Amino acid sequence: MQYNIALLKGDGIGPEIVDSAVAVLERIGAKFGHDFRFTPYLIGGCAIDAVGMPLPQETVDGCLASDSVLLGAVGGPKWDHLSGEQRPEKALLGIRAALGLYTNLRPAKLFPALRGASPLRADLVSAGFDIMIVRELTGGIYFGDRGYRTGRYGEEAFDTEAYSVHEIERIGRAAFEIAMKRSRRLTSVDKANVLETSRLWRKTMHRLAEEYPEVAYQDLFVDNAAMQLVRNPQQFDVIVTSNMFGDILSDEASQLTGSIGMLASASLGETTRGMYEPIHGSAPDIAGQNKANPIATILSAAMMLRYAFGLTDEAKCIEDAVDAVLAAGFRTADLIGDSDAACCSCTEMTAEILKAIG
């Protein structure tokens, strides 16, 4: 079977980590008899440099014509002076919207070998944790009206958050369905004591909860959720939340797994295509130095196999290989804190994972 994958390598460490994931997919293809074809497209700062805009139409069209999309990261100091509309990050929001990817799955799972790399006390992570953060990805304050105006104290900037019942319902339903396939516990995170959007969010989630009586549902305010995550991450199974709260809580949760370099993500919509990317950024400080941790991108490729192509055994093969390599003590620089093992480069880590796949 042939699968056409659009590659959006982007900026900073993007090209290195996407190359690692491509090597892994090629190995999986050889092992299981699949033909993965890759077509690169420009996105972010590299697209600004090449064609003067962060999200060329050719990139959108190429993604729409592909079976799935693998993305590295965008942005860097070189483009920081640009206005909001021209920035590399705008392309990321643009491609998420263009592909209709409103459901963002960010699994924060502690690999047993990385218990010592978690900043939490050993007794808090002794049983591990496995949290699925379901982040709304195409609405909220990321996409609301924004701008500048003259206010009471002179010039001011504003951003607005809006959520429709429709948007809340579809992300809520996605989260309840995921909870049904896991341990049937769902936490919805909002700020309903302050925000009107959160009150509508909560009301809508409660209505959905009646349709899913098997799911143990709870609400948490976002400040409490941020605290509970570091107090006792094991209490959570599935967390559903808005675009911005999900952005913040997933970075927090990622660090509990040892490093932000570990967290994969799947962005899904109404088609099977989806887009797969690590949750971390382009890490310009280590770009081009072969120091990046490729695991988040490799695990994102595993999510692609599972969600876009239904290749469950192949996805599991990648996840088991990562598990085995970590258990054998291999660590990239971001993970080195807990291990005496020599620190490996991006390409060395990739080579170990390829070996473990066999």
What residues line the site for Mg ion (CB under 5 A)? Answer: 247
Distance CA 282, CA 87 (A): 14
Q: Pick from Mg ion, ligand IPM, none: which does 89 bind, CB < 5 to 8 A by kind?
A: ligand IPM
Q: Which residue is nearest to Mg ion (CB)?
A: 247
Choose, from 247, 291, 307, 334, the residue flagged as catalytic: 247
User: Which residue in the set 110, 179, 266, 279 belongs to the binding site for ligand IPM (CB under 6 A)?
Assistant: 279
Question: Can you spell out the DSSP letters for 256-284?
Answer: HTT-GGG---EEE-SSS--EE--SS---G
Distance CA 44, CA 73 (A): 8
Residue 260 binds ligand IPM, judged by CB under 6 A: no
- On the CB side of 12, CA atoms within 13 Å amount to 23
Q: Tell me, yes or no, if 142 is annotated catalytic.
A: yes
Distance CA 262, CA 308 (A): 21
Q: With respect to ligand IPM, which residue has the nearer C-beta, 208 or 249?
A: 249
CB 74 within 8 A of CB 142: no
Q: Tell me, yes or no, if 41 is annotated catalytic.
A: no
How many residues does this entry show for the chain? 358
Distance CA 276, CA 283 (A): 18
Q: Tell me, yes or no, if 223 is annotated catalytic.
A: yes
Q: Pick from ligand IPM, Mg ion, none: which does 261 bind, CB < 5 to 8 A by kind?
A: none
Q: With respect to ligand IPM, which residue has the nearer C-beta, 89 or 319?
A: 89
As measured in angstroms, the least distance from the Cβ of 176 to ligand IPM is: 23
Q: With respect to ligand IPM, which residue has the nearer C-beta, 89 or 314?
A: 89
Burial per residue of 149-176, b for 16 or more beta-carbon CB atoms within 10 angstroms, e otherwise: eeeeeeeeeeeebebeeebbebbbebbb
Distance CA 299, CA 316 (A): 10
Instruction: Tell how strand 68-73 and strand 2-10 pair up.
Output: parallel
Q: Pick from Mg ion, ligand IPM, none: which does 92 bind, CB < 5 to 8 A by kind?
A: ligand IPM
Q: Tell me, yes or no, if 237 is annotated catalytic.
A: no
Q: Quick one: which H or E segment has residue 188? A: strand 185-190
- On the CB side of 71, CA atoms within 13 Å amount to 29
For residue 132, the SS3 value is strand
Q: Pick from Mg ion, ligand IPM, none: which does 334 bind, CB < 5 to 8 A by kind?
A: none
Burial of 193 (0-12, 13-18, 19+ CB in 10 A): exposed
At 240, list the tokens: 């559903």
As measured in angstroms, the least distance from the Cβ of 317 to ligand IPM is: 26
Q: Pick from Mg ion, ligand IPM, none: which does 43 bind, CB < 5 to 8 A by kind?
A: none
Site for ligand IPM in 69-98 (CB under 6 A): 75, 89, 92
Q: Which residue is nearest to ligand IPM (CB)?
A: 89
Q: With respect to ligand IPM, which residue has the nearer C-beta, 279 or 287?
A: 279
User: Which residue in the set 67, 247, 314, 334 belongs to the binding site for ligand IPM (CB under 6 A)?
Assistant: 247
Q: With respect to ligand IPM, which residue has the nearer C-beta, 91 or 353?
A: 91
Q: With respect to ligand IPM, which residue has the nearer C-beta, 15 or 354?
A: 15
Choose, from 130, 251, 323, 338, the residue flagged as catalytic: 251
As measured in angstroms, the least distance from the Cβ of 281 to ligand IPM is: 6
Q: Quick one: which H or E segment has residue 318? A: helix 312-327
Q: With respect to Mg ion, which residue has the nearer C-beta, 66 or 254?
A: 254
Distance CA 185, CA 239 (A): 9
**Residues lying near ligand IPM in the complex (CB under 6 A):** 75, 89, 92, 247, 279, 281
Which residues are annotated as catalytic? Answer: 142, 191, 223, 247, 251
